[in-house]
């Protein structure tokens, strides 16, 4: 069991399908108050991605993680929207854009 030392704002799981995170079960993704998105593997932190602000919502890109089933959209408290690619080795920030609204 993974114990997160920070406030968790949202949780989702990457889809379990052939071709994405092959050989792994459910992969939880958590948005935390320390301005990170954390990827959990089993009961351990696999890696985290630092963001410009606190992520407060996560959603699978195209409702299924996109072509490779590992892309996640996020929204931050200061109103930014972003997209990350969460491969099994490390995550990549693809883009982040500001909006006129904040949560």
Share of the chain above pLDDT 90, in %: 65
Which CATH code is given to the segment(s) 8-97? 2.40.10.480
Domain boundaries, the chain: 8-97
First-last CA distance in the chain: 31
Task: Round to whole Å and give the CA distance between 68 and 15.
Answer: 10
pLDDT digits (tens, 9 = 90+) for 7-47: 999 999 988 766 555 566 788 999 999 999 999 988 899 99
> What is the pLDDT, as a whole number, of residue 88?
84
Q: Is 79 helix (H, G, I), strand (E, B) or coil?
A: coil
**Among the ranges 57-61, 66-70, 87-91, which has the highest mean pLDDT value?**
57-61
> What is the pLDDT, as a whole number, of residue 26?
81
Q: Is 28 exposed, middle or buried (0-12, 13-18, 19+ CB in 10 A)?
A: middle
């Amino acid at each position: 069991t993974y114990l997160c030392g920070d406030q968790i704002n949202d949780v989702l799981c990457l889809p379990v399908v052939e071709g994405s995170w092959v050989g792994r079960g459910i992969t939880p993704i958590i948005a935390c108050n320390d301005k990170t998105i954390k990827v959990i593997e089993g009961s351990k932190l696999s890696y985290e991605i630092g963001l410009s602000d606190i992520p407060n919502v996560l959603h699978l890109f195209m409702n299924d993680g996109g072509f490779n089933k590992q892309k996640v959209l996020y929204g931050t408290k200061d109103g930014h929207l972003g997209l990350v690619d969460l491969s099994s080795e490390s995550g990549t920030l693809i883009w982040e854009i500001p909006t006129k609204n904040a949560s």
